[in-house]
Amino acid sequence: MDTLVEILRPEFILRDALVGSVLVGAVCPLVGVYFVLRRMIFLGVALPQLSAAGIAFAFVAYRLVVGPHEHGNVNERSLAMAGAVAFTLGGILVLAALERRGRETVEARIGVTYAVAAALTVLFLVADPHGDAQMVNLLKGDILATTSASLGVLAWAFGAVVVVLFAFRKEFLLVSFDRDLAVVFRKRVGLWDLLLYLAIGVTISLGVMTAGPLVTFGFLVVPPLTARLVTRRMLSFSLTAAGLGATAAFAGFYCAYRFDLPLGPTEVALASLALGAVTSATMIGQWMASPRSAT
């Protein structure tokens, strides 16, 4: 209880990290809802890795064109952001285009994307002799290193993503659920896809920079899968996923601080625990309701 009171105090030393963590936990599932509905879950693995490759590429490109960059300043974060968004958005647009025209399976394309992105990340890091622990932290996402400035950027960008997702939820639902009907209604299907992908790209890029690929993927996928088991409507699906993600992030932060555990894995483990519990409860409920259980 003392720990809970401590982390809720305004002067708590890791307050920015706690708020950042909860923001990632709440907003990633809102985007992840569309990953689940469009059956693009494995993109949630590939895109954060692509984002990491983008960050590494930005540093290498900067060194080659301008010169060595200074660690820890605002420009470094902007550079990382530009690389992450460019690679994530580029990747998602190419994969979306191939989905309509390509002949290989979706899994093959996503698998190749992940492998290439992971390899490029390492190669870009090796190519930058100034790459040190701080850059590696930025790449893998270190929530505890969140500063007031980076939290401000995160809050504004995620705020914009939430506004876009809710303001245009009617359009996103229509193009996701029945693309043909959207075309018959003469909606700008490509434009709505692009806007959704942009929201996804920004969320993943900032999520990776703040919390790393593992946590970003975990929150993109696990809370929406849990919420899908207990909701019957689109709006409640999105809100429940966001609520579950934020709760898992807060509880994960508490456990990590209280028991001195690594933060990201603790958060993802708690979110997965909730998925396991809800899945079990749903299966038991279905079994109890089935005619066979009555005999």
Positions touching another protein (CB under 8 A) are 36-37, 39, 167-171, 173-174, 176-178, 180-181, 183-187, 228, 231-234, 236-237
CB of residue 186 to another protein, shortest distance in Å? 5
Reading the block at residue 168, the tokens are: 């245009």
Judged by CB, which is closer to another protein: 9, or 103? 103
Closest alpha carbon to 208 in 14, 32, 47, 22: 47
Judged by CB, which is closer to another protein: 156, or 185? 185
Q: How many CA atoms lie within 13 A of 195 on its CB side?
A: 20
Judged by CB, which is closer to another protein: 53, or 182? 182
Q: How many CA atoms lie within 13 A of 157 on its CB side?
A: 24
CB of residue 112 to another protein, shortest distance in Å? 24
CB of residue 233 to another protein, shortest distance in Å? 6
Judged by CB, which is closer to another protein: 132, or 178? 178
CB of residue 185 to another protein, shortest distance in Å? 4
Angstrom distances, CA of residue 35 to CA of 57, 255, 275: 26, 28, 17
CB of residue 37 to another protein, shortest distance in Å? 6
Judged by CB, which is closer to another protein: 172, or 257? 172
CB of residue 271 to another protein, shortest distance in Å? 19
Reading the block at residue 267, the tokens are: 């958060």
- The Cα–Cα gap between 27 and 130 comes to 33
Dihedral sign of CA atoms 199, 243, 238, 274 in order: positive
CB of residue 254 to another protein, shortest distance in Å? 30
Judged by CB, which is closer to another protein: 134, or 236? 236
Closest alpha carbon to 30 in 212, 246, 255: 246
Give yes or no for a contact between 214 and 264, defined as CB atoms under 8 angstroms apart: yes
- The Cα–Cα gap between 97 and 257 comes to 44
Reading the block at residue 50, the tokens are: 């692509």
Phi/psi-derived region of residue 49, left when phi > 0, alpha when psi is between -120 and 50, beta in every other case = alpha
- The Cα–Cα gap between 87 and 5 comes to 41
Judged by CB, which is closer to another protein: 138, or 225? 225
Give yes or no for a contact between 126 and 60, defined as CB atoms under 8 angstroms apart: no
Judged by CB, which is closer to another protein: 17, or 196? 196
Closest alpha carbon to 22 in 244, 203, 275, 294: 244
CB of residue 206 to another protein, shortest distance in Å? 25
